Structure 1
Amino acid sequence: MTVAYEWRGRFDNTVINALHAEGFGHAPMEDDWWARVNRHSLGWVCATENGELVGFVNVAWDGAVHAFILDTLVTRRARRHGVGTELIAVAVREARAADCEWLHVDFDDDMKDFYLGACGFQPTHAGIIAL
């Protein structure tokens, strides 16, 4: 599998919505991802194989030194090939290049081995309030 990774790459909203639906197990929506990431994100990483989007991660930020991993997505057929790990590696590199000092991520228990093991995040105490 030969995959290209692009920081702040172009993508189609329909394709991202389908990828998000597949990744998080819900019906496709009609969100305007392009406007959202351009308005709120430090950047994002697109992974493509032969021009087809096979992975995506959003890197939101506070405008200063904290960046946040959101919506790490890899198509089913591209999983277990290192695509997700490389998406995060590019996000780390670009957040560091933007002078961020911290890259945060939260995740469900089933993703612990991926984020803490494969991607090198360190466990920390955190809190969350469901709204």
Structure 2
Amino acid sequence: MAIEYRDNPDLGNEALNALWATAWNTPHPRDFQPILSRNLAHVGAFAGTRLVGFVNVAWDGGIHAFILDTCVDPEFRRRGIASALVKRARTLASERGAEWLHVDFEPHLSGFYRGLGFASTEAGLIRLRD
């Protein structure tokens, strides 16, 4: 089945929670609408009407944008969907005025993000809630 990529699709919580449950093994539903209403952009990957991939582009309201929540349904992985999502997010961020695109990732994803042009940087992280 062909994959269709859509910029800023109107996504409901049901579709996103279904993707999260399979991609992140997170069965706890959440409300994504506040996130989507404040982001710079987001991209959805669809197999027919089914959401099978997603990436969010958050921003600081200025020149910095941030890739968040890149995910693909396990049934659709290893088909280049995540790469296509991130590439499209990069284009949208640039078109909307961002000068820098940041991403945080776990070490096993280093090759993936470097392959998409991201350079290694030092960053800090603190967990605010358990």
TM over 0.5, yes or no? yes
Deviation at 1:35, TM superposition (A): 3.0
4+ long deviations beyond 6 Å: none
How many residues are paired up? 128
Deviation at 1:52, TM superposition (A): 1.1
Deviation at 1:111, TM superposition (A): 1.2
Aligned-partner Cα distance in 1 for 2:98–2:45: 22
| 1:46 counterpart letter in structure 2 | G
Deviation at 1:85, TM superposition (A): 0.2
Structure 1 partner of 2:122: 125
Structure 2 partner of 1:53: 51
SS in 2 for 1:69: strand
* Contact 1:20–1:71 (Cα < 8 Å) also in 2: no
Aligned-partner Cα distance in 2 for 1:12–1:31: 11
Unpaired runs of at least 5, structure 2: none
Unpaired runs of at least 5, structure 1: none
What TM-score do the two structures reach when normalised by structure 1? 0.91
Deviation at 1:34, TM superposition (A): 2.5
Check if 1:3 corresponds to 2:35: no
* CA shift digits 1:43-84 (9 cap, x unpaired): 100110112111001100001100001100101111100000
% identity of equivalent residues: 42
